[in-house]
């Protein structure tokens, strides 16, 4: 792991980002487990807990841990924003060239961190954990996850066995460039391919949840589908969006011309008994839709040529000093 420690005196070698929500019973044990796994590596590290607006005593527990350990930093979101915004807040605050992300419920095993770092040292930009023996409920968690992984692979062309595993290692220069929103954290491998990232997978351990209950259920699959549609557009349209919008516009124009032909035939033959007459309003709507689609393509092309949207994170959070 000699390539990792290349930061200055005021820097750290490794940042560990952990979003937590109502994990008051887990954070102390997780902190101890991380220290046991990382201290022997002789790296300068920081542990960034991001409290995603917890309603229990998670934040109070984190403050206690911070007072006893200088490695700890705590970010508190002002509301429950979700895992992706919480992860992004942690990524923004991370100072190290290598970042590890993991869940805060003790299901990810910190002892797998050295394996991820070793893979990063081979030159990869993103290393994804793969929960080989996943300890979750079959119906509500494992089956939806398998379906989601296959859908993501088919739609994006990026074949990752376990997109939902939060235990990952990133090069900071790559992950900090990605624009993450909604529940996009599970699509990080797909989005990172736009930046030409080299991706690897490592088999990792997975433990049954010890405390509390899962924050996710089978209903999350629906949201994954909508996010997947957005990712497909991002990957497919990012280079030359005008091409795709023009094709869509041509298709609508073809429908409009077809309806004009049918309308003209019905009108000239005067044989309205033998078929149906297409209202002229339908033709006008189709023409208008075709023009609007082409206009959207021109706008998208202009945005792409200027380097894309310059997003600003409107989520408010604060450090615990």
Which SS3 state, helix, strand or coil, does residue 10 take? Answer: coil
Higher pLDDT, residue 56 or 228? 56
pTM for this structure? 0.71
Strand partners, 203: 130
**CA gap 240, 297 in Å, rounded:** 9
Q: Residue 288: its pLDDT value, please?
A: 78
Pick from 238, 258, 285: which residue ends a domain? 238
What is the residue-averaged pLDDT of the chain?
Answer: 79
Q: Residue 321: its pLDDT value, please?
A: 41
Domain check: are 62 and 201 in the same one? yes
* DSSP calls for 146-206: HHHHHHHHHHH----S-TT---EEEEHHHHTTS---TTGGGGHHHHHGGGT--EEEEEE-B
Domain check: are 94 and 192 in the same one? yes
* Residue 317 domain flag: no
Mean pLDDT, to the nearest integer, of 52-61?
94
Query: What domain range includes position 188?
Result: 14-238
In angstroms and rounded to an integer, the radius of gyration of the C-alpha atoms of the chain is 25
Domain check: are 231 and 126 in the same one? yes
320 pLDDT above the threshold of 60: no
* Residue 114 domain flag: yes
240 pLDDT above the threshold of 70: no
171 pLDDT above the threshold of 90: yes
* Residue 181 domain flag: yes
Pick from 191, 207, 238: which residue ends a domain? 238
Q: What is the CATH number of the domain that holds 94?
A: 3.90.550.10
Domain check: are 125 and 268 in the same one? no
**CA gap 6, 198 in Å, rounded:** 20
Domain check: are 59 and 205 in the same one? yes
- When divided into structural domains, the chain yields a total of 2
* Residue 311 domain flag: no
8 pLDDT above the threshold of 50: no
Domain check: are 212 and 103 in the same one? yes
Q: Residue 96: its pLDDT value, please?
A: 97
Domain check: are 101 and 190 in the same one? yes
> What are 68-118's pLDDT values in tens digits?
999 999 999 989 988 899 999 999 999 999 999 999 989 999 999 999 999
Q: Report the Cα–Cα distance between both ends of the chain, in Å, rounded.
A: 31
* DSSP calls for 296-310: HHHHHHHHHHTTS--
Q: Which two tokens stand for residue 215?
A: 């924050």
Domain check: are 53 and 188 in the same one? yes
**CA gap 50, 21 in Å, rounded:** 9
Q: Residue 38: its pLDDT value, please?
A: 97
- CB–CB of 164/130 below 8 Å? no
Q: Residue 312: its pLDDT value, please?
A: 37
Burial class (CB in 10 A: 0-12, 13-18, 19+), 101: buried
* Residue 185 domain flag: yes
The strand order across the sheet containing 199-204 reads 199-204, 126-131, 168-171, 98-101, 14-20, 45-51, 72-77, 317-319
Q: Residue 248: its pLDDT value, please?
A: 74
Domain check: are 209 and 142 in the same one? yes
Strand partners, 168: 101, 128
Domain check: are 93 and 155 in the same one? yes
Mean pLDDT, to the nearest integer, of 264-272?
65
* Residue 315 domain flag: no
Our CA angle for 211, 32, 134, nearest 5°, is 50
Q: Residue 253: its pLDDT value, please?
A: 79
Domain check: are 78 and 140 in the same one? yes
CA distance to 93, 143, 148, 195, per residue, from 8 (Å):
17, 45, 41, 26
């Amino acid at each position: 792991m000699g390539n990792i420690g290349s930061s200055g005196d005021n820097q750290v070698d490794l940042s560990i980002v952990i979003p937590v929500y109502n994990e008051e019973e887990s954070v102390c044990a997780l902190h101890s487990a991380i220290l046991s796994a990382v201290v022997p590596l002789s790296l300068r590290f920081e542990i960034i807990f991001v409290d995603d607006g917890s309603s229990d005593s998670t934040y109070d527990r984190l403050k206690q841990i911070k007072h006893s350990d200088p490695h700890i930093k705590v970010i508190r979101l002002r509301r429950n924003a979700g895992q992706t915004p919480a992860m992004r807040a942690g990524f923004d605050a991370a100072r190290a060239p290598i970042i590890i992300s993991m869940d805060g419920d003790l299901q990810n095993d910190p002892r797998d961190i050295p394996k991820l770092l070793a893979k990063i040292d081979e030159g990869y930009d993103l290393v994804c954990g793969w929960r080989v023996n996943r300890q979750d409920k079959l119906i509500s968690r494992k089956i939806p996850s398998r379906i989601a992984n296959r859908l993501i692979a088919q739609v994006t062309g990026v074949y990752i066995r376990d997109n939902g595993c939060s235990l990952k290692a990133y090069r900071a220069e790559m992950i900090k460039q990605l624009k993450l929103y909604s529940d996009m954290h599970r699509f990080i491998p797909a989005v990172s391919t736009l930046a030409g990232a080299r991706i690897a997978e490592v088999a990792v351990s997975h433990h049954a949840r010890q405390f509390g209950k899962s924050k996710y259920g089978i209903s999350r699959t629906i949201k994954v589908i909508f996010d997947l549609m957005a990712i497909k557009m991002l990957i497919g349209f990012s280079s030359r969006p005008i091409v795709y919008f023009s094709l869509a516009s041509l298709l609508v124009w073809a429908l409009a011309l077809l309806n004009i032909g049918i309308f003209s035939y019905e009108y000239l033959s005067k044989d309205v008994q033998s078929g149906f007459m297409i209202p002229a309003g339908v033709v006008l709507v189709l023409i208008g839709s075709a023009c609007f689609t082409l206009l959207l393509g021109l706008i998208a092309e202009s945005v792409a040529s200027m380097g894309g949207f310059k997003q600003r994170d409107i989520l408010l959070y604060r450090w615990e000093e």
